[in-house]
Structure 1
Amino acid sequence: MSAASPSAIVTSPAPLGRWGVWVLLAVLLLGLLSTWLGPDPAIQNLDQSLAAPSTSHWLGTDHLGRDLLARLGEAVRVSFWLALGSALLAVGLGTVLGLCAAWQRGLTERLLCLCADGVAAIPGLLWVLLVAALAPGQKWALYSGLVLTAWVEFFRLVRSRASMTLAGDAVQAGRLLGFGAPYLLRWHVLPPLQSDLLRLWSYAVANAVLAVAALGFVGVGLRPPTAELGLMMTEALPYYDEAPWLLAGPVLLLVLTVAALQSATRPHERESA
């Protein structure tokens, strides 16, 4: 069998990627439907404490008698709003700074690269932990810490790709014809970046979900009675032997969500016939 030529390799959506999209839709549907159809996740009923899964409580209840399914739905909403918001801010900040570095070059580029290297020198979760520790339980602190760690990857990608595009013949011809920066960025620089930015954004969302859960698990993130996956794991640990479903629910939901986010936009190569 002869080796396939480069032209015979085409990119198509990966089966795992399609699976990730369906899982994400199911998780988001859980968060939305639990708002309208489920009980209040904050209502306590000590008579139903640590109740096993049943028709009245599909996933059982926690140590305070709160419905676990309703709390998982609230945790999905909280985690996704934090993750999506911080990732959008990070992609905006990283893209703007990357374009600025690629366009201005010189001292501006060196200063921005130095700033990015300084942020990247410290582990991302440590940055989030340090910022969140300034105001425990406050969402703005979580947003700030997540954006601070995520923008560097977008900056490096945009700076590298934009620098090559700006040095190309198409952009140079556009400049000679008198086209301004908005036109060149809109039609020549940004289009090739869109797929890579989308893929990197999905990983940033997954990392943000993990970071929020990790902070909640160590007690620095959101505060009770807010339902959050990491916080729910911490609350469930003392009752692991008596009610293992308490820990299984948030753990499985976190694993599925992160795996789906990381695979939803993953490219897949196959040989054309």
Structure 2
Amino acid sequence: MKTKSFANLPTDVAADMMDGSRSAFWTPARITGAFILVCLLLFAVLGPVLISTDPLHQNYNAVLVGPGVDGYLLGTDHFGRSMVSRLAHGAQLSFAMAFVTAISAAVPGILLGVIAAARGGMVERGLVALSDIILALPGLLLVLLLLAFAPGEFGPLYLGLALYLWVEFFRVARIETARVITSPSVEATRLLGFSRLYVFTRIIVPALTGPMATLFAFAMGSAIIAVSTLSAIHVGLRPPTPELGAMIVELVPYYSEAPLQILMPAIGIFLLVLGLQLMAGRKS
């Protein structure tokens, strides 16, 4: 039976957990990572708006020109396309693909992990077996199998990555939920008569927020690297899509003539992944 003096006990426990995680979250590494990501996100969002040049527009009178030449801020590629425009659109595409892939993996992974820990028995064993089967397949092989049905398309590319990445969310969510369910705070909440929904929203969700945020950043970084890797073997997005990995591959033959043009998309990928890795770093 609930009483007024004890009704706030689970809420206080959850609040203490949230306050502690917030105070420890913003380490110097995560602040640096957030700064890098905000700068890149501003470039990705505002760049295509402020830069009127079409990233697909070709100008054969200005091929592989250097930064600042003929009015091109960062020069042009081998087709005379504006590098700054292509970089801005490429960063926007990388952010969008990484976020969609990570959220598509996180939502089912977390929900299935919580269900497996809460229900146990055959449900948990079945879901664990399914995750083991997915882990038995190399991640890029799973993506390649789906890409075989629609080469160069975004749908199977992100779906294949999401099907592989959801396993990590599932495993961590299942372990964390099982740990929280057996904790004294949950036992006290149940004895006081609170519903399962209350336990989930006020205790389990705060406990999962930190680990899931870390995994989400890792998943976005993995998606960016995977898409760039697939572009390097010519099975990613089709040209002339301004994707950072594809831009590097297209410009490799012209390295001796315009090395900066290759370095710019490579630096973009490096900074994107670095920012996400710093945001996903452990507490110091």
TM-score (norm 1): 0.90
Q: Which amino acid aligns with 1:52?
A: G
Quick one: structure 1 residues 129 and 19, their matched pair in 2 at CA, closer, same or farther if it must change by over 3 Å?
Answer: same
Q: Secondary structure at the match of 2:134?
A: helix
What's the counterpart of residue 7 of structure 1? none
Superposition deviation, residue 78 in structure 1? 0.9
Structure 1: distance between partners of 2:25 and 2:119: 36
Matches within 5 A, 1:29-40: 29-38=42-51, 39-40=53-54
- Which of 74-83 and 115-124 deviates more? 115-124
Q: Secondary structure at the match of 1:49?
A: coil
CA contact (8 A) 1:52 1:61 kept: yes
Matches within 5 A, 1:73-92: 73-92=88-107
CA contact (8 A) 2:218 2:280 kept: no
Q: Are residues 1:26 and 2:39 paired?
A: yes
Q: Secondary structure at the match of 1:190?
A: helix
Q: Are residues 1:45 and 2:46 paired?
A: no
Matches within 5 A, 1:85-124: 85-124=100-139
Structure 2: distance between partners of 1:12 and 1:146: 28
Matches within 5 A, 1:175-190: 175-190=190-205
Which of 65, 73, 91 in structure 1 is aligned with 2:80?
A: 65
Superposition deviation, residue 88 in structure 1? 0.8
Structure 1: distance between partners of 2:102 and 2:205: 18
Matches within 5 A, 1:212-223: 212-223=227-238
Identify unmatched segments of 5+ residues in structure 2: 1-22
Superposition deviation, residue 265 in structure 1? 4.0
Q: Which amino acid aligns with 1:25?
A: V
CA contact (8 A) 1:94 1:154 kept: yes
Identify unmatched segments of 5+ residues in structure 1: 1-9
Structure 1: distance between partners of 2:68 and 2:185: 65
- Which of 147-156 and 170-179 deviates more? 170-179
Q: Are residues 1:262 and 2:267 paired?
A: no
Structure 2: distance between partners of 1:24 and 1:173: 41
Cα offsets for 1:55-106 (capped at 9, x unmatched): 5112110111000111011111111111101101111111110011001100
Structure 2: distance between partners of 1:49 and 1:105: 62
Superposition deviation, residue 50 in structure 1? 0.9
CA contact (8 A) 2:152 2:237 kept: yes
Q: Percent identity?
A: 38
TM-score (norm 2): 0.87
Q: CA RMSD in A?
A: 1.6
Structure 1: distance between partners of 2:225 and 2:114: 29
Structure 1: distance between partners of 2:110 and 2:283: 26
Structure 1: distance between partners of 2:180 and 2:30: 29
Quick one: structure 1 residues 133 and 233, their matched pair in 2 at CA, closer, same or farther if it must change by over 3 Å?
Answer: farther
Length, aligned pairs only: 260
Structure 2: distance between partners of 1:113 and 1:41: 45
